[in-house]
Amino acid sequence: MAGVRVNVNVGVLGHIDSGKTALARALSTTASTAAFDKQPQSRERGITLDLGFSCFSVPLPARLRSALPASHPAAPETGPEPGEPQLQFTLVDCPGHASLIRTIIGGERGPGTGTGLADAGRSCRAREIASLRAQIIDLMMLVIDVTKGMQTQSAECLVIGQIACQKLIVVLNKTDLLAEGKKQAAIEKMTKKMQKTLENTKFRGAPIISVAAKPGGPEAPETEAPQGISELIELLTSQISIPTRDPSGPFLMSVDHCFSIKGQGTVMTGTILSGSVSLGDSVEIPALKMPTVKGEQESTQCGQVSGSSNPPALSPIFLCCHSNYTPPGKHGVLVVKKVKSMQMFHMPVTSAMQGDRLGICVTQFDPKLLERGLVCAPESLHTVHAAIISVEKIAYFRGPLQTKAKFHITLGHETVMGRLMFFSPAPDNFDHEPVLNTFDFSREYLFQEQYLCKDLEPGSTGSDQATEKAGQATEGLCPRQQWALVEFEKPVTCPRLCLVIGFRLNADIHANMCRLAFHGILLHGLEDKNYTESLLPKLRVYKLKHKHGFVERVIDDYSVIGRSLFKKETNIQLFVGLKVHLSTGELGVIDSSFGQSGKFKINIPGGLGPESKKILTPALKKRSRASKGEMAKQEEGAERQEPAQHVTLSLSFKRYVFDTHKHMVQSP
């Protein structure tokens, strides 16, 4: 029997045709049936179209063995184990073509290899963005064609690495294509270029190594031995550390393959993203959830509708399985299965935890209904129609992130279209410490026309007016944390605090640009289908409104007439009682409309000051000499002499975005 294995997961990413698959093949000793472009479409086109899984093992180094938790079976002095403990590297070969970036974003955290249970290693892909805290990818290999250097998708893969993992190794591949006399100089030159590229990333100082994974190219005979592979394995072994895995929390597993074994049940293979699972546990399969029929109550034992002797007209899988139902939830009937057996790397196990590659056998259901998806602890996942996320713009994305713009959003196990609305803390709270695990509905937030960032140029929004709107903040300051309300085009099932990535799949794949726009964390999901009425009014996002006008003339020491603050058709009655500030320092209150041209009367409780009276004297004198007939004409809006110096009026108020009554609020 094989000894204990410590598994680490390594993502293999890079531009198309950089030799990722050849490198994975050169490193691996065990492969799944989906590895090394075995799909007919991949062979036909000569490129990787989907994620592939393979692995190799080395003896567990003494430094890692001593770092293991005492409870780990490979830790020192835990008792005899058959065979030498192994450090297993599970490789995930990711597609590099620009049009397949969705596969990487949606599934880069699903590594693993054969898990037993009738070759459960036939997993073909894992399409999920896992919890940011899961840390399933332990190290990333960025593969660079040494003859070409960094390319568009290389840069995108580097961005994904910065979001999703903590360690990086750069592999300069295809060194066999360099002229023998100039090889070393070319490698050194490319090494310096890559070091400069990494300077402004969290991977600054990452190791860089050169290899020739497939000397002579794809058509070369297999007798051509790869170059530099043993050195790469040594480097990988030296760079890896014991991954931190947390068995607590709700169980969540990404399923990348599903098939039946006659007489045993249905097998799901994948990677555990969080929590743990044991034999006999109940697990929910959200993809099989059926909508609840209004007025019908399903039995939790036999799947029959109350008051009926016949089972409901559902898929056959519901008719042949035991313990399929739990009470209907908000979005339908939960499908729950009991774990009958489990295998990990062809070995039966009784439990598994976060980061493990696993095959789970449950009671029979049609595997075609779950090609890939999520399996979880019952009722631990939620289906949301919208979400509040903490958001951070990706620096390499060109252009602004505009409110009301649509992006492709990847979260949980799905990629959907979503429309965004950005907001920030109130200006006084811009420097507050970011909070990344919760959202406070009791606070007030400032609406933004677009995501605020330091590289926002004045002309980037198209006009001065748009620029003023874009930054509701003052003096170009940027908050330490910003949020977005994302409204999805279709409901999404995902865990709380999962990683969210926004990107533009509709961008020209031949353009030299980064399509990854932002990333963040889902802080609060809106599960109610009618969330616009039930939940959004609780979100206290406001717009700051500023209006400016002029004092046209003085009525007396405590009253003036204003203009140019409102349009002619504005219902001024809505603004009665709001405070306005005069540029001369007085505070006034809008009292009523004046005539039909948008003018209005302002009461000044403290009266006009001496300086203000002096400025407004021309109008005051003119009024004192006017006859009653002339006064009547003036009351109707006739033109008259204005003050020698303009006195401006400023009106500021808040209007809450989701307030159905559109109330205007001013600070005390």
Only one residue has tokens 């811009």, namely: 430
Q: What is the DSSP letter of 287?
A: G
What backbone phi and psi angles, to 5 degrees, belong to 416? -135, 165
What secondary structure does DSSP assign to 218-280, as a single string? TTS-TTS--BSHHHHHHHHHHH--PPP----S--EEEEEEEEEETTTEEEEEEEEEESEEETT
Question: Residue 356: what pLDDT?
Answer: 81
Question: Residue 456: what pLDDT?
Answer: 57
Is residue 150 within 8 A of residue 21, CB to CB? The reply is no
H or E stretch including 491? strand 482-494
H or E stretch including 465? helix 464-470
Is residue 388 within 8 A of residue 146, CB to CB? The reply is no
Q: How many Cα atoms occupy the beta-carbon half-sphere of 481 within 13 Å?
A: 18
Residue 280's Cβ-count burial label (10 Å; 0-12, 13-18, 19+) is exposed
> Would the pTM of this model clear 0.85, i.e. be above it?
no
Residues composing the chain: 668
Only one residue has tokens 């306005």, namely: 580
Question: Residue 55: what pLDDT?
Answer: 84
Residue 152's Cβ-count burial label (10 Å; 0-12, 13-18, 19+) is middle
Neighbouring-strand partners of residue 409:
416, 502
Count the Cβ atoms, other than its own, within 10 Å of residue 378.
Answer: 17
Split the chain (668 residues) into runs of 10 and give each run's mean pLDDT: 73 88 90 49 42 83 78 52 78 58 41 35 30 60 95 86 90 95 96 96 96 86 87 96 85 86 88 91 86 46 38 37 46 84 82 86 90 86 94 91 94 87 93 91 96 65 42 65 97 88 76 84 94 95 94 92 93 94 95 93 94 74 51 49 76 94 86
Is residue 150 within 8 A of residue 192, CB to CB? The reply is no
What secondary structure does DSSP assign to 65-111, as a single string? HHHS-TTSTTSTTS---SS--EEEEEEEE---SGGGHHHHHHHTT--
Q: For residue 307, what are its two tokens?
A: 């008051």
Question: Residue 620: what pLDDT?
Answer: 46
Residues 6+ away with beta carbon under 8 Å from 20: 12, 13, 14, 48, 93, 94, 96, 143
* Range 179-187, long-range pairs (CB < 8 A, 24+ positions): 186/146, 187/146
Only one residue has tokens 């695990």, namely: 437
3-state DSSP assignment of residue 306: coil
Query: What CA–CA distance (Å, rounded) separates 74 from 244?
Result: 15
Amino acid at 310: N
Question: Residue 45: what pLDDT?
Answer: 40
Query: What CA–CA distance (Å, rounded) separates 100 from 300?
Result: 42
Question: Residue 605: what pLDDT?
Answer: 95
H or E stretch including 184? helix 183-198
Secondary structure (H, E, C), 591-657: EEEECCCCEEEEECCCCCCHHHHHHCHHHHHHHHHCCHHHHHHHHCCCCCCCCCCCCEEEEEEEEEC
Maximum Cα–Cα distance across the chain: 113
Question: Residue 121: what pLDDT?
Answer: 28
Residues 6+ away with beta carbon under 8 Å from 519: 163, 391, 392, 394, 499, 500, 501, 502
Is residue 130 within 8 A of residue 245, CB to CB? The reply is no
Is residue 323 within 8 A of residue 337, CB to CB? The reply is yes
Question: Residue 11: what pLDDT?
Answer: 87
Query: What CA–CA distance (Å, rounded) separates 552 from 561?
Result: 6
H or E stretch including 20? helix 20-27
Residue 158's Cβ-count burial label (10 Å; 0-12, 13-18, 19+) is buried
Beta strands in 412-454 (DSSP E): 414-425, 445-448
Question: Residue 599: what pLDDT?
Answer: 95
**Distance of CA 59 to CAs 4, 7, 153, 335, Å?**
10, 12, 34, 42
Is residue 25 within 8 A of residue 54, CB to CB? The reply is yes
Residue 348's Cβ-count burial label (10 Å; 0-12, 13-18, 19+) is exposed
Neighbouring-strand partners of residue 170:
142, 208
Q: For residue 282, what are its two tokens?
A: 């109940």
Question: For the chain, how many helices (H) and strands (E)?
Answer: 13, 30
Amino acid at 219: E
Query: What CA–CA distance (Å, rounded) separates 328 from 310?
Result: 18
Question: Residue 85: what pLDDT?
Answer: 86
Instruction: Give the β-pairing of 559-563 and 599-603.
Output: antiparallel
Domains in the chain, start-ordered, CATH in brackets?
Answer: 5-61+84-110+128-239 (3.40.50.300), 246-287+334-380 (2.40.30.10), 382-453+479-539 (2.40.30.10), 543-617+645-665 (2.40.10.190)
Is residue 351 within 8 A of residue 330, CB to CB? The reply is no
Is residue 50 within 8 A of residue 42, CB to CB? The reply is yes
